[in-house]
Amino acid sequence: MTITSRDVARLAGVSQPTVSRALRGDARVSAATRERVTRAADALGYVPSEAGRSLVTRRTRRIGTVVTDLANPFYPHLVGPLHDELERHGYRMMMFAERSDSKVATERLLDGSLDGVVLMTSKIDSMLPAELTRRGLPYVFLNRESGDGRGDAAVVDNHLGGRLAADLVAGLGHRHIGGIFGPQDTTTGRERELGFRLALAEHGLAVQAGAVRHGPFDFAAGHALLAEVLAATPRPTAVFCGSDAIAIGALNAALGAGLRVPEDLTVIGFDDIPMASWEAFRLTTVSHDLVEMAAGAARLLIGRIETEEARDEGEGPRRVVSVPRLVERGTHAGPPR
């Protein structure tokens, strides 16, 4: 037999609307009544219907998260804390592991089943943010931003992170420097590269001509592109990688080529994923707080959904920016003599 809110109301000695208000935490219900209703619901094994709630509140309590690169070891470390923060506020997370920001993905996000969307891997030219705005569905960027500065975002200061890597390389005395940067159609890739290049210029240095490559933020890119970077003449003695995944791929390629890291080649990553600290890698990298960045994105989105004032069209985009720091481990040294 299905237990309903009316059964709970009879056992608790209150009205059915009071049961609904009490179980969703309505402040108008006294603490004593809320406790009585909760005890009755627990005794009967009653589980509130999300469908019924959504008819009343016009909210589904579901958040869609769009990731196009779930195989990248970076993103699982964002998904966990994002899920936890959304759950803490009473929201469920639904994962959309799409290959691209396709029309199919857009239709699935806009079918009325979601209260908001987290965009984790959007490209600069993606039309999805504009479509979400047009349809009035709140969204937030996580670890990315739009090319035009629209939309709330929780990000790391990628520009500063690139500068930190450049300062280390220059301070070690390297003069022949290469880069395996991220995709040029993402704000993450562009800003890390720009910060690195500008800081090198302040030291009177530049990324070596012919020693620059761009690719996905993954192991395969680092492994495949390191050989091309090292083919430049003279051979670079330091390589800055746009992500830890790229850097670990590059480390494996260097090992396969018979190079010693850091004696023959300095390799620096970005993100400080847990794998970077493994003894097998001991990667020197630019670190930032992944947990706080993910939680910040959740809070920004929930604010847009729940606060009428925050949804005022006159309010500009809001940003939560994590400050990066350099973590020095075992993959950096001065240039070989």
Predicted TM-score (pTM) of this structure? 0.81
Residues 244 and 213 sit within 8 Å (Cβ to Cβ): no
- Please give the Cα distance from 263 to 306 (Å, whole number): 54
Helix segments in 58-186, DSSP class H: 76-88, 103-109, 128-135, 158-171
Q: pLDDT (tens digit, 0 to 9) for every residue of the chain, 337 residues total? A: 678 888 889 999 999 889 888 887 777 889 999 999 999 988 988 876 554 554 444 567 899 998 887 778 888 899 999 999 999 888 999 988 766 555 556 777 877 789 999 999 888 888 888 888 888 899 999 998 887 778 899 999 999 999 999 999 999 999 999 999 999 999 999 999 999 999 999 999 999 989 999 999 999 999 999 999 999 999 999 999 999 999 999 999 999 999 999 999 999 999 999 999 999 999 999 999 999 999 999 999 999 988 744 445 556 789 999 999 999 999 999 999 8
Pairing of strands 266-271, 238-241: parallel
First to last CA, the chain: 80
